[in-house]
Amino acid sequence: MSTATFSSPTINRPSATSVGTIVWLGSEVMFFAALFAMYFSLRANSPAIWEGGTEKLNVPFALTNTLILVASSFTAQFGVFAAERMQPRATGWSPTKWGMVEWFLISYVMGAMFVSGQVWEYATLISEGVMLNSDSYGSAFYITTGFHALHVTGGLVAFLLVIGRTFAAKKFGHYEATSAIVVSYYWHFVDVVWIGLFLIIYVLK
């Protein structure tokens, strides 16, 4: 008499890191949605002030700064591809042989250029009388773009932490690769948010 053998199905549960990242980014979406709502509300109530404020924006400069940030998202993804194939550092001078560290360093430099560009833009606008406490436009502009700049700065710190952890680790493994992927999720998020801000603030003036 034969005994039937039953095997229990394998359940693939998502990692706690992935779930935590998704939940956190969800809360960030709600935060920026509130900022967008504030911006639209203030603009609807003060169209004349908005017309005067938007005339002082340097749209070509902002577009260039935006393209730099968008490009950094691509280099960050190349770093993820390197992390997924467990290649932390370059094996040659060619970009096709670069590792996660090299691609993330490029993303860091581009992100730092973006933040520096925003600081320069702030200084220029302040010299032209557009300040945080000048009117509703100044408040909306600096609050929305300022909070985004803080998020970008947080992403820059995250890049450095991942790069430092990679050099400190004796062997690049799944934990280090997952950290790189999580940071890329966050970086893509701040890039997408900025594209929305750019369209609303600089294009749909």
188 close to 108: Cβ distance less than 8 angstroms: no
How confident is the prediction along the chain (205 residues), in pLDDT tens digits per residue? Answer: 444 444 434 334 456 666 677 777 778 888 888 988 999 898 888 888 888 888 999 999 999 999 999 999 999 999 999 999 998 887 888 888 899 999 999 999 999 999 999 999 999 999 998 898 888 899 999 999 999 999 999 999 999 999 999 888 888 888 888 889 999 999 999 999 999 999 999 998 6
114 close to 65: Cβ distance less than 8 angstroms: yes
Which residues are CB-neighbours of 136 under 8 A, at least 6 positions away?
A: 42, 45, 46, 49
Degrees to nearest 5, angle at CA 125 with 120 and 129: 150
Q: Is the dihedral of CA 144, 37, 183, 97 positive or negative?
A: negative
Crossing angle of helices 100-127 and 136-168, rounded to 10°: 160
Structure token digits, residue 146: 């300022």
82 close to 100: Cβ distance less than 8 angstroms: yes
User: What's the pTM?
Assistant: 0.85
Write out the H or E segment, with its range, that includes residue 186: helix 174-198
CATH number, span 16-203:
1.20.120.80
Cα within 13 Å of Cα(155), Cβ side? 32
